[in-house]
Structure 1
Amino acid sequence: MTSAKVHPEFWKGRRVLLTGHTGFKGAWAAAWLAKMGAEVTGISLPADGDHSLYNSIQGHLPLTSHFIDIRDADKLSVAVRESNPEIVLHMAAQALVRRSYREPVYTYETNVMGTVNLLEALRDLTDLKAALIITSDKVYQNSDDGRAFTESDPLGGDDPYSSSKAVSEIAVASYAKSFFNEKAIPVATGRAGNVIGGGDFSEDRLIPDIWRAAQTGKSVTLRYPGATRPWQHVLESVSGYLVYLQALASSGGNALPKALNFGPQGGEVVTVGEIARAVQKAFGIDGDWALVNDAQPPEKSHLALDASLANETFGWRSRWTPTETLAKTVDWYKAFGETADIYAFTLSQIDEYEAPL
């Protein structure tokens, strides 16, 4: 069995195309890849908001950055051809469920046609070894019974975000069979659980909302405190993606699954309310959260992933418990608030994650 370790020697000098590099997960991936000496080209929209991990660390990242909307097929194609990547990690997306209700057309254009545009741009590359398209744990047809999803479960999605990612999965599988398999270039999808960690400042995200409440003194409000999610640290999912790409590129993809879940060990789930109370306590917020009283777009109450196939395939499994994950997350935000060298602190957490168990 291939080791689940991320191997710096594999990535050193490797030409990597990383879309969505200004986003939360993308910035962590960019930092890790740069740390290992990869030659990274990033394609993304500029980072949103007053705060972002990418804007905090970009001055230290030796990467080529293109601010391109992946819906623009022509500009995207030019940037892809110029970078001529060996490895592609596609993270660019409209990733917010509630925004997908407000902007469904934009969500489908970005998540479906943006992915198709990228796949089209990859078709004529000469040095491509493997591509991994990141979708979501929400791609499955969810009956809300709490059962952990496996990769063979039917795809679905009731809200625009979830269904856009499920459609993207179908498009990726079609492109792989129609255009890439004959060239022995593996194109696969990765599905990760609910990701937390330092550097997430997005709207409608649990821990960023609690961090903002701590800064402003406002109360924390929750929409669905009883909802359960497969919470995991951002480095868990990124490590899974990198290990998966190593295996795909090294084997030509032969006999490897074309889709894998990456989630907490044993499908471990924790409620939104439990996470909120623990993080509030860590941030020193007095009092409990309040329930949002106005009408909210529907979301599934239960979501869990079975990541045993990734373990069986190449030994990947989550490393940090929920308690460790929350501690690392809170530590990052505290360092950020204390104007620490946040790039060095970010790298130190990657070092901690890489340390032998």
Structure 2
Amino acid sequence: MRIFITGAAGFIGFHLARRLLADGHTVTGYDGITDYYDPALKRARLAILAEHERFVLIEGMLEDAGRLRDGLAQSGAEVVLHLAAQAGVRYSLEQPQSYIQSNVVGTANLLEALRALPPRHLIFASTSSIYGGNTKVPFAETDRADGPVSLYAATKKSGEAMVHSYAHLFGIPSTCLRFFTVYGPWGRPDMALFKFASAMIEGRPIDVYGHGTMQRDFTYVADLVDVIAKIMDTPPEMGRPVEHDSLSAVAPFRVVNVAGGRQTELMDFIRAIEKAVGRTAQLNLLPMQPGDVVATHSDTTLLRELVGAVPETSVETGVGHFVEWYKSHYGWN
């Protein structure tokens, strides 16, 4: 199958492209390789993908509508996986325009290109941050999600709404996947696992927000990729959804949570890193940051109905794989 992945140099995009290439697909990656974090890490990921003869990279920004449209046409994609975005809750307080341009304008540019080049399935990477201040847990796809507490979440909610409108107007089968705290090897330097592990390895203290009381539904990246590879073959069809299904009644559109379905205390996560690193963390306990939420927890009922059994890598195992990669990649013994 011919697949087009935006954000192929990113953390999840890289893992997904590598998995799909291994499965025998042809992958065209589209990425702007921005400097939000070290571009050398993105280049290192791309160097691995470039070893596959069925991988093609097109460098370009989502905001460049012409280049995006031409790249999509060149790929002849049957499935489009839209992962590229300006990520991070906290950075949206500093650079809001980058979120508007990438996540809103960029997504609109892609959708416009898909009007002329409709795929068999569009998958849009969304986020659990969309649930915002919801107090009902676990979060279900049919819950209202109209109270985002960060601009990042608001732009992703906007993306979901735009994807739905194009699914309705132009019949593009579309699935929005709400990711829950994805972690693993080759992760982003701005994410907690990367920050905590590097600080422990180097003997520096770590900043722990919310005084360590936060809970997260962690998702190991290989488990996430396995789900996406399966759900690619399940494009939604317009119809009458059952009670717990998020299937739209007016469009071939569905929202699906992707997570392990269990909560982990932040301090337990830190203890798993300590065990993998072999050092005790120096904790700098701080209050919650603006835009953050206390807890996330996913209802995975719909996900399991769509793809069957979902791999569930334990936090201890997943963190161990990350620390092994980190030490190898950065030369720590």
Whether the TM-score (by the shorter chain) exceeds 0.5 is yes
Q: Please report how far the alpha carbon of residue 338 of structure 1 lies from its aligned counterpart in structure 2 after TM superposition.
A: 5.1
Residue deviations 1:239-293, cap 9 Å, x none? Answer: 2122111122xxx7365841111111xx211122221222023112234322247
User: Does the Cα contact within 8 Å between 1:146 and 1:302 map onto a contact in 2?
Assistant: no
Structure 1 residues 89-108: aligned runs within 5 Å: 89-108=81-100
Distance 2:230 2:141 in 1: 18
Q: Deviations over 1:119-176 (max 9, x none)?
A: 11111126x2111111111112423x36111111112312100111111111111110
Give the direction of change, closer, same or farther, for the CA distance of 1:245–1:59 in structure 2 (3 Å limit).
closer
Q: 1:88 aligns with which of 65, 70, 80?
A: 80
Which of 255, 278, 285 is the equivalent residue of 2:279? Answer: 285
Which residue of the partner structure matches residue 112 of structure 1? 104
C-alpha separation in 1, matches of 2:92 and 2:309: 32
Aligned length: 314
In structure 1, the partner of 2:16 is 29
Q: 1:298 and 1:89 mapped to 2: Cα distance?
A: 27
Q: What is the TM-score normalised by the length of structure 1?
A: 0.81
**2:104 aligned partner, one-letter code:** V
**Is 2:160 the counterpart of 1:173?**
no
1:202 alignment partner AA: P
Q: Which runs of 5+ in 2 are unaligned?
A: 242-246, 248-253
Q: Which moved more, 1:68-77 or 1:219-228?
A: 219-228
Q: CA deviation at 1:21?
A: 0.5
Post-superposition CA distance 1:293-322 (Å, at most 9, x none)? 7x8424111111111111123314243233
1:150 is aligned to: 140
Change (3 A) 1:322 1:339: closer
CA distance in structure 1 between the partners assigned to 2:25 and 2:270 by the alignment: 37
1:202-248 Cα deviation digits (max 9, x unpaired): 32x11110232145332222223211111010112222122111122
SS in 1 for 2:234: helix
User: Root-mean-square deviation (CA), in Å?
Assistant: 2.3
- 2:206, 2:281 within 8 Å by CA — same for their partners in 1? no
Please show how residues 32-43 of structure 1 align to structure 2 within 5 Å. Answer: 32-43=19-30
Residue 259 of structure 2, aligned match among 263, 274, 278: 263
- What is the identity percentage for the equivalent residue pairs of Structure 1 and Structure 2? 26
TM-score computed with the length of structure 2 as normaliser: 0.87
The answer to whether the Cα contact below 8 Å between 2:185 and 2:322 also exists between their aligned partners in 1 is yes
Gaps of 5+ in 1: 1-13, 341-357
Deviates more, 1:155-164 or 1:89-98: 155-164
Secondary structure at 1:123 match in 2:
helix
Q: Which amino acid aligns with 1:129?
A: R
Contact kept? 1:189, 1:259, Cα under 8 Å: yes
Q: Does 1:304 align with 2:297?
A: yes
Paired amino acid for 1:51: L
